[in-house]
Structure 1
Amino acid sequence: MSFVIVHIQPIMQYCFVEGNFADLSRDLAEYLHISTEIEPLLEANTKDEVLKKLVTASAALNTYPEKEFTAAYNLLVYLVMQSPNVNMFLPRMCEHLSKPITSAPLNGSGLALNVLTTIFNLLQPDNDVRWNVFSAILRLVKNSGNFEILRPQLKKLDQWIEEWELDEEDQRKLYGQLADVAEDAGEQGESYQFILKALRTFPASEVSTKEAQDLSLRALKAALISSTHFDFHDLTSLPTIQALSDSHAEYSELLEIFSEKELEDYTDFRDENEDWIETEALDNSALHRKMRLLTLASIAASTNSKELEYKRIAKALQVPVEDVEMWVIDVIRAQLIEGKLSQQKQVFLIHRTTYRVFGEKQWREVATRLDTWRSSLRAVKEVISRERQQAEAQKERELHEAERKIAGASGMGAGRRAPGGRDNMIEMGTD
């Protein structure tokens, strides 16, 4: 059985079809082998009842030939969109499309995604069912692992959430789905950001609930084991993370160490909690390495000079001096500091550093540096002032000397007798 192919352009929301609702419904019903069930409904002109039958029977399309799947579903989508009660049918269609398409084991996810994307784009932006359709899309992307299909659309996520008027619980559910999808696709950074967004949806009264604590631990573990995450302020500022101090003291202490302390503190923690680290499946070697990088960033930020000796670095990192350059290079690659190595002087020349945490201690360090800079500027100002005074005095002396020379030259000119002057005139008068 073949039927008219419906071409849908979801962006413009146009459909190009041939035939009226009844004729197209009969074609699809015959394809789904339910003609006898819908004929009386068509005669009674009960369109929604016809659509109920068609949508229920559409579950069978997952077993139909792959080459006919898209055309059949496009026709069904077109018919459903004619109903004023379209939201009555779409959730069931999304449920069917989320299940495996057994006739297309390789391309099934792609086929279903195309149909769901068409439905999503045909719906008005403020339609609540768009949220259900998007959830179905997420389930398919998760199963297929093709996160790149989803990535361009995530730029509109905040706008969609506002249009759908999702409450905090639904937002949390959505962010959780996105975090799972990203994690399954190997996008750890994306997954972490969605977990943080989910944590921000908990009201103050729920920060200690099991759901909040489990999600907080998931975020904290991800941040600790990540090879690229070094700023823990995004965690320490969250009430749900702060609540871990009561329920998970070890994790809370570990977060404090990675936020603002140094390698020696982690070493002490590890020695006291070695069994706990193993039980929690935390990679001690990875944590130890990360703590060394953070420690080097801290001592570079706290030094008053722009030169950091190799020996001081080696002592803080608990490594041989000959390994210092390797660790400095790793810290630079992690973009925690900028500078260059001086093998001749055995120092690291610091160009830029970043504080891991900015508290009272850091304010004191800044105050000390400002005092040093102020003293240096005052000294420079005094030197410049003295030089200026000396220059002005020298200029005044030179000016006086010049005036003296000019005055002397004028006096010498006045005492001379010009040739043919008054004496000659007297002699001429005598004659």
Structure 2
Amino acid sequence: MAAGSTQNAQPQLLFVDGTFAELATEMAEYLNVVDEIKPLAEDDSKRDEVLTKLVRASAALNSVPEKEFTAASNLMIHLVMQAEEPKRHLPALCQAFAKPIPSSPVNGVNLSLNALTTVFNLIEPKNPIRFNVFSAILKFLKSHAMFDVLQPYLKHIPAWFEDWNTGDEFQRTMYVDIADVAAEAGHAEDSFEYLLKALRTFDADDKEELGSEEAQELSLRAVKEALLSPTHLLFNDLRSIPGVQNLNETHPVWAQLLDIFAEQDLEDYKDFNDEHEGFIEQEGLDDDKLLRKMRLLTFASLGAQTTSRRIEYGAVARALQIPSEDVEMWTIDVIRAGLVEGKLSQQDQAFLVHKVTYRVFGTRQWQELATRLNSWRGTLANLLDVVRKEEGNARAQKEREMQELERKVQGLDSGNGGGGGGGGGRQRGGRRDGPHREPKEPREPRLRTEDED
């Protein structure tokens, strides 16, 4: 198929040489209708009649040898594209190509797909006929579970819709076809994604359209797929779609079941089964799968409601209605499902919640969040006060230490006599003789008298 939609994209060309009459006759030989075609082929005014007969006989292409199929199919495509209105012949031609040739059990499917994509690529990118050809390709891919072939082109679908100027109804049809291709190949998540895209094409303001049989059928299919999916655990995306919301009026029991899985718990699911006995089995749902999912969701709600972020094993056992010895197994399962993160404490018989996924986030959840934020803000404010107080204490201590150091330095200077004496009490010889004393002048000698005696 084409890589995408570009303004200047040119269709792929087939290299076919010859006049229309020559080529039509050659094609007639492949299809074993040469006697019908040859008399008409030379008359250009009967070209459309010739093409009608060739296309009608095109199913015989399945009988040509494998090595000749591509050449024969390309020739047939080239002739049809010469018609004044190719769209008259393309549906029948695509239907013929959609049947793999029996002579090639290994390559037959790919040969048929190549023929279909050649038709698609030969049509001008903005030509709405491409929509019909692409629909034929989707049906072919579905019948052969070839979603992987389709995946690389899905990103171009919105641009193609714009090029083809398709309305909501045509878009919805194609989205459903893509969902079917994905489902047939076992790609449940991709199937659900495109089913939601199809549901969003209904006019949210048109009550009659939302209540149509098609809208109800697609809405119920989406709800059923979401409930049975082992990986789809949050349901707000589904409940936000107007068609699904309308089930409250058209299918209230289904709407009630969806609400339970969206925001209620295991006990509510069991009450539902008691109230609507047999409903699960009658609607083709699997009660074991639903019970398992409901227990996982109940565990998530328990984690979200626990303000202490600590859940005792006993509380888990009661909420999930399981034996105490199974608590750790279910805890591991809910962590694997991505609904909660945390740590088991076997010693304390408790699960410590680190992170939890909210199943719904409404008024009550906003209030809980506001309460927690206020609590955190108070804690942070107290912590900030402590930090600031410690910073003040540290500065005061540093100032005291500096002052003490300055006093010691000043005391040392004053003890040295202001810096004038020779080296802190040491004499020249380097000995310390004790306290420094000023030298006394020598006394004059005198005679002693008798009185003094």
Same fold per TM (> 0.5)?
yes
- Quote the offset at 1:228 in angstroms: 0.9
Q: Once the two structures are superposed, what CA deviation does each residue of 1:400-419 show, in whole Å capped at 9, x if it has no partner?
A: 21222222222222367625
Partner Cα separation in structure 1 for residue 311 and residue 287 of structure 2: 28
Partner AA of 1:156 in structure 2: H
Of 358, 361, 382, 1:358 maps to 361
* Aligned partner of residue 348 in structure 1, secondary structure: strand
2:121 counterpart of 1:121: yes
CA distance in 1, matches of 2:188, 2:216: 20
Query: Structure 1 length normalisation: TM-score?
Result: 0.89
Cα distance in structure 1, aligned partners of 2:148 and 2:396 = 75
Letter in 2 for 1:281: G
> Deviation of residue 130 (structure 1)?
1.1
C-alpha distance after superposition, 1:319-347 (max 9, x if no partner): 12211110011011111112222212222
Deviation at 1:65, TM superposition (A): 4.4
Residue matched to 2:24:
25
Q: Secondary structure at the match of 1:26?
A: helix
**Which residue identity does 1:32 align to in structure 2?**
L
Within a 5 Å distance, the mapping from 1:121-270 to structure 2 comes to 121-203=121-203, 204-205=205-206, 206-270=209-273
Does the 8 Å contact 1:91/1:129 carry over to 2?
Answer: no
Larger Rg: 2
Secondary structure of the residue aligned to 2:354 is strand
Q: Return the offset for 1:425.
A: 12
Q: 1:228 to 1:184 in 2, by over 3 A?
A: same
Instruction: Give the distance between the partners of 2:235 and 2:282, measured in 1 at CA.
Output: 23
Change in 2 beyond 3 A, CA 1:100/1:114: closer
Amino acid at match of 1:400: Q
Unaligned runs of 5+ in 1: 1-9
Alignment partner of 2:324 out of 312, 318, 321: 321
Contact 2:98–2:112 (Cα < 8 Å) also in 1: yes
Aligned partners of 2:192 and 2:222 also within 8 Å: yes
CA drift of 1:89 comes to: 2.6
Query: In the alignment, is the contact (CA less than 8 A) between 2:182 and 2:191 conserved in 1?
Result: yes
| Preserved contact between residue 15 and residue 78 of structure 1 (Cα < 8 Å) | yes
Letter of the aligned partner of 2:151 in structure 1?
R
| Cα separation, 2, equivalents of 1:293 and 1:126 | 49
Q: Give, in whole Å, the separation in 1 of the partners of 2:122 and 2:161.
A: 17
Distance in 1 between the 2:352 and 2:10 partners?
57
How many residue pairs match? The answer is 417
Q: TM-score, normalised by structure 2?
A: 0.84
Structure 1 pair 412–103 and aligned structure 2 pair: CA distance change class (3 A): closer
- Contact kept in structure 2, 1:21 and 1:79, CA below 8 Å: yes
Tell me, yes or no, if the aligned pair for 1:91 and 1:133 is still in contact at 8 Å: yes
How far apart, in 1, do the equivalents of 2:381 and 2:171 lie?
Answer: 57
- Alpha-carbon distance in 1 for matches of 2:405, 2:305: 57
C-alpha contact 2:99 2:112 (8 A) present in aligned 1:
no
Change (3 A) 1:171 1:425: same
Task: Give, as a single letter, the amino acid of the residue that structure 2 aligns with 1:388.
Answer: E
Is contact 1:109–1:140 with CA below 8 Å preserved after alignment? Answer: no
Q: How many Å apart are 1:385 and its aligned residue?
A: 1.8
CA distance in 1, matches of 2:440, 2:48: 143
Once the two structures are TM-superposed, the CA of residue 365 in structure 1 deviates from its matched residue by: 1.3
Change (3 A) 1:418 1:117: same
The question of whether the paired residues in 2 share the 8 Å contact of 1:145 and 1:181 is answered with yes
Shift of 1:162: 1.9
Which protein has the bigger helix share?
1
Percent identity over the alignment is 52
Matched position secondary structure for 1:16: coil
Do the aligned residues in 2 keep the contact of 1:258 with 1:291 (CA within 8 Å)? yes
